[in-house]
Amino acid sequence: MIKNNVTRLLEQRKIPHQVFELPGEKLGAEKTAELLNIPLEIVFKTIVVTRPERGKPILAVVPGTAEVDMKVLAKAVGEKKVKATTQREAERLTGLQVGGISPLALINRGFQVVIDSSAEEFDEVHVSGGQRGLNICLPVSDLAQLTSARFARISRSPN
């Protein structure tokens, strides 16, 4: 079983969770849902978003069935405009590989976390465990509390 800072934090705080090991490449939400045989709606992906001015980058956590609506996200965080990063920028800002970026691995690292409010429809969701090949299922309330996240309807169906 894979152990890392995320799994140790969850164990230390006695937060109920399940750890799933997956192939160690960048999989994406669809492939993760398929491999774990779970609905895509409960697999949440983390998108790194920057502000035009200086300020904390944002981690937008949205369901695998959707994409981030940048206009709505900007409004939710009090900005006129925000922009998704490239994969390279996301890796530079987080220190994590794309496919392993997790709000749980970036606690206290200066990121503002916004979780799509569709997550509130579920008791538990799946997120990356902070490295490729590691997926964690945990209660939505614990995810929000640990990451100091707020909920907002920030996703839309892909065109």
Name the residue type at position 4.
Answer: N
pLDDT of residue 66: 96
- Average pLDDT of span 132-159: 94
40-67 pLDDT, tens per residue? 999 999 999 999 887 889 999 999 999 9
Q: Is the pLDDT of residue 101 over 90?
A: yes
pLDDT of residue 122: 97
Assess contact for 125 and 29: CB atoms under 8 A.
no
| Predicted structure pTM score | 0.95
Looking at the domain 5-156, which fold is it? Answer: YbaK protein (3.90.960)
- Average pLDDT of span 85-95: 95
CA nearest to 92, candidates 57, 136, 46, 143: 57
Instruction: Please state the domain extents for the chain.
Output: 5-156
Confidence of residue 90 (pLDDT cuts 50, 70, 90): very high
pLDDT of residue 153: 96
Name the residue type at position 106.
Answer: L
Task: State phi, psi for 137 to the nearest 5 degrees.
Answer: -105, 125
pLDDT of residue 56: 87
The span from the CA of 155 to the CA of 54, in Å, is 24
Output the average pLDDT for the chain: 94
Confidence of residue 121 (pLDDT cuts 50, 70, 90): very high
The span from the CA of 82 to the CA of 9, in Å, is 30
- Average pLDDT of span 107-121: 96
pLDDT of residue 61: 98
9-46 pLDDT, tens per residue? 999 999 999 999 998 888 889 999 999 999 999 999 99
